[in-house]
């Protein structure tokens, strides 16, 4: 770790960038970027947001994606603190919301161990924002009284145990980082007899290249494969998916065929 420059006032802002569309950044987030000396940004943040930072601000990509060089969380923590001690205001720009599977609290806790003040600016989580942009409510009277937001894969590489519990409920189930586990996840819902439960997969939600497939538990895997859906993608299981216009059209086509 670098020694502190006594002429610098270090501070860190954990900023949620939202689900992808740069226009979904909050006004408070824009103001934070405008005063940044350093911006550390993730793979799932839109680089257009960097235009809000001063031209002389240091911009450092610290993305974490499979198949490419990536920074481990420990390295990001140390880099964030080093820059704060030597340059001042560090904006840690994170996709979605920092505290929804963003490991934001780990970064806050590490900065706090160096007595560096940290501010948190929430972002629109893809778990709520992306379904909403597709006019799929996560709750709806008569269909869903609650929703689960679950990671698709835990540190061991297995699917989350919470998925097994969520599949038993009538809640809307939103799964992040779960596309590679879709075959296993579908089997969990089938084991509960929920073959006809509406389901959706949304790739690159809120972005210009957003893609959507709508079906049921029994068909969603085949549709995702057919349409060559890729990560990052969000999975939705629940009766609320039936409110999407394309699901209504799907039902009409089933009726016509039968």
Active site residue ranges: 42, 64, 177
Residue 44: name the closest of 122, 118, 98 by CA.
98
Distance in angstroms (rounded) separating the CA atoms of residues 146 and 172: 6
Asked whether the beta carbons of 39 and 50 are under 8 A apart, the reply is yes
Strands 172-176 and 233-237 come out as: antiparallel
Distance in angstroms (rounded) separating the CA atoms of residues 79 and 85: 10
List residues bridging with 237 in a β-sheet.
173, 199
At 253 the three-state DSSP class reads helix
Distance in angstroms (rounded) separating the CA atoms of residues 105 and 164: 26
Residue corresponding to tokens 């949304």: 202
């Amino acid at each position: 770790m670098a020694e502190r420059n006594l002429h610098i006032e270090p501070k860190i802002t954990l900023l949620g960038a939202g689900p992808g569309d740069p226009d979904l950044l909050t006004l408070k987030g824009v103001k934070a970027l405008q005063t940044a000396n350093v911006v550390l940004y993730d793979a799932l943040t839109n680089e257009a947001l960097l235009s809000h930072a001063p031209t002389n601000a240091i911009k450092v990509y610290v993305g974490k994606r499979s198949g490419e060089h990536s920074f481990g969380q420990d390295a990001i923590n140390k880099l964030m603190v080093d820059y704060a001690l030597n340059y001042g205001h560090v904006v840690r720009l994170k996709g979605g919301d920092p505290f929804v599977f963003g490991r934001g609290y780990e970064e806050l806790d590490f900065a706090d161990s160096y007595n560096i003040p940290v501010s948190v600016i929430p972002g629109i989580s893809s778990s709520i924002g992306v379904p909403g942009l597709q006019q799929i409510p996560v709750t709806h009277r008569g269909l869903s009284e609650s929703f689960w937001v679950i990671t698709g894969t835990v540190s061991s590489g297995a699917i989350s145990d919470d998925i097994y519990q969520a599949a038993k409920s009538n809640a809307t189930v939103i799964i992040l980082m779960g596309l590679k586990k879709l075959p296993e996840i579908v089997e969990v819902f089938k084991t509960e007899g929920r073959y006809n439960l509406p389901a959706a997969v949304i790739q690159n939600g809120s972005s210009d290249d957003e893609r959507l497939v709508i079906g049921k538990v029994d068909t969603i895997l085949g549709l995702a494969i057919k349409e060559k859906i890729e990560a990052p993608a969000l999975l939705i299981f629940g009766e609320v998916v039936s409110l999407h216009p394309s699901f209504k059209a799907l039902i009409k086509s089933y009726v016509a065929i039968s």
